[in-house]
Amino acid sequence: MAHNHSSRKWLSPNSNEEDMGLLLAPRLAYFAAVARHEHVTRAAQDLGVPQSTLSRAVVRLEEDLGVALFARKGRTVSLTPAGRTFLASAERALAEVERSADAVRVDADPSAGRVAFGFLHTMGSETVPGLIRAFRVDHPRVRFTLVQNYGEAMIERLRAGDLDLCLTSPVPDAPDLVARRLDEQRLRLVVPDDHRLAGRKRVRLAEAADETFVTLEPGYGLRRITDALCAEAGFTPRIAFEGEEAETLRGLVAAGLGVALLPPPAVPRPGVVELTVTAPRAAREIGVAWLDGHPDTPPVAAFKRFLLSRRGRLLGEPE
């Protein structure tokens, strides 16, 4: 197994680290096996590869590193000081790869895998806990990684691979995504309980044209819907406050800071009155989205089927 280091050009110390990783990674297991057995033939038998293949791989590894890892005597080998140093790092790297492989296998387990699921803030108090509770009746061991955020941020995380599915509004329309409408949620005009409109049951949105509004920040789906509905009603809302959470806005309405277009609360809040908007029709579509062409693990596929089966009854709220 003698070799001549001059037969190949060594990688220079400033070689690209990614290139070095690509060169070394396939050979680490071979190197570790030879180091463990201190014998090329026995290592080849253990790995189930031809002895010649193993010998060439170790030689190429030493040439790429530019250092001898083994002292050789026939087919018996022993680690050099450099080899012992490299072995410690190689074993850590191989162990990390094995841990990662185990984690991936566990996440894909049909009965106990993981689903990374994103949802809107307004879906968090009742809707999503109810969905997960119902799903786990038949899939009690499936684990969830949950992300609560506004729509655009969730779509970004979906594209980055951080999420498998997200529940969002408006339903996105993009070539790299698949989205399905699941339900519709009526929006209310929320006013303080001493407001001039508080005695009404229904209102046209144009009747609030002179009011000050509290809204979510730009970038939130509900903010885009609010702006669009006000424009359809013939006015641009005057904004007193832009927030990140619907219940905070409801509290500010109770404090008299303004009015707001919001979905129904999970629990009725004192100090406000919620009016049905008759014109224009005030509603938002809720849908589920995922990355087009992205393969589903069995638990993700099962949860996706479950969500799609809830079309028209996702929210379960009276209109």
- Please determine, for residue 17, whether its predicted confidence score (pLDDT) is greater than 50: no
Query: What's the CA angle centered on 45, arms 39 and 50, to 5 degrees?
Result: 95
Q: Are 214 and 247 in contact (CB under 8 A)?
A: no
- Please determine, for residue 102, whether its predicted confidence score (pLDDT) is greater than 80: no
- Which whole-number Å values give the CA distances from 46 to 41, 54, 303, 319, in the listed order? 9, 11, 42, 68
Q: Which residues contact 264 (CB under 8 A, 6 or more apart)?
A: 185, 186, 188, 274, 317
With H, G, I as helix, E, B as strand and everything else as coil, classify residue 192: strand
Rounded to whole angstroms, how far apart are CA atoms 98 and 213? 55
Q: Identify the CATH class of 20-108.
A: mainly alpha
The pTM of the whole model exceeds 0.85: no
- Please determine, for residue 9, whether its predicted confidence score (pLDDT) is greater than 70: no
pLDDT (tens digit, 9 = 90+) per residue, 124-163? 888 999 999 999 999 999 999 999 998 899 999 999 999 9
User: How far out from the chain centre does Cα 52 lie?
Assistant: 45
Query: What is the pLDDT confidence band of residue 19, given thresholds at 50, 70 and 90?
Result: low
Let me know how many helices (H) and strands (E) the chain has, helices first.
10, 13
The structure tokens 């806990």 sit at 129
**Average pLDDT, rounded, for the chain:** 87
Least confident of 8-22, 150-164, 176-190: 8-22
Higher-scoring residue by pLDDT: 316, 246: 246
pLDDT (tens digit, 9 = 90+) per residue, 27-79? 888 888 888 888 888 888 888 889 888 888 888 888 888 899 999 887 688 89
Task: Determine the residue type at 15.
Answer: S
Q: Do domains 114-184+285-310 and 188-281 have the same CATH topology?
A: yes
Higher-scoring residue by pLDDT: 103, 32: 32
Rounded to whole angstroms, how far apart are CA atoms 194 and 271? 8
Considering the domain delimited by 114-184+285-310, tell me its CATH architecture. 3-Layer(aba) Sandwich (3.40)
pLDDT of residue 13: 44
Rounded to whole angstroms, how far apart are CA atoms 169 and 263? 12
Return the sign of the alpha-carbon dihedral for residues 224, 225, 231, 235.
Answer: negative
CB atoms within 10 A of CB 93: 16
Boundaries of every domain in the chain: 20-108, 114-184+285-310, 188-281
Per mean pLDDT, which of 10-19, 40-49, 57-66, 240-249 is the most reliable?
Answer: 240-249
- The β-bridge relationship of strands 76-79 and 70-73 is antiparallel
Residues across the chain: 319
Q: Is the peptide bond before 298 cis (omega within 30 degrees of 0)?
A: no
Long-range CB pairs of 154-157, under 8 A, 24+ apart, other chains included: 154/118, 154/119, 154/120, 155/289, 157/118
pLDDT (tens digit, 9 = 90+) per residue, 270-286? 999 999 999 999 999 99
Rounded to whole angstroms, how far apart are CA atoms 285 and 168? 8
pLDDT of residue 20: 54
CATH superfamily of 188-281: Periplasmic binding protein-like II (3.40.190.10)
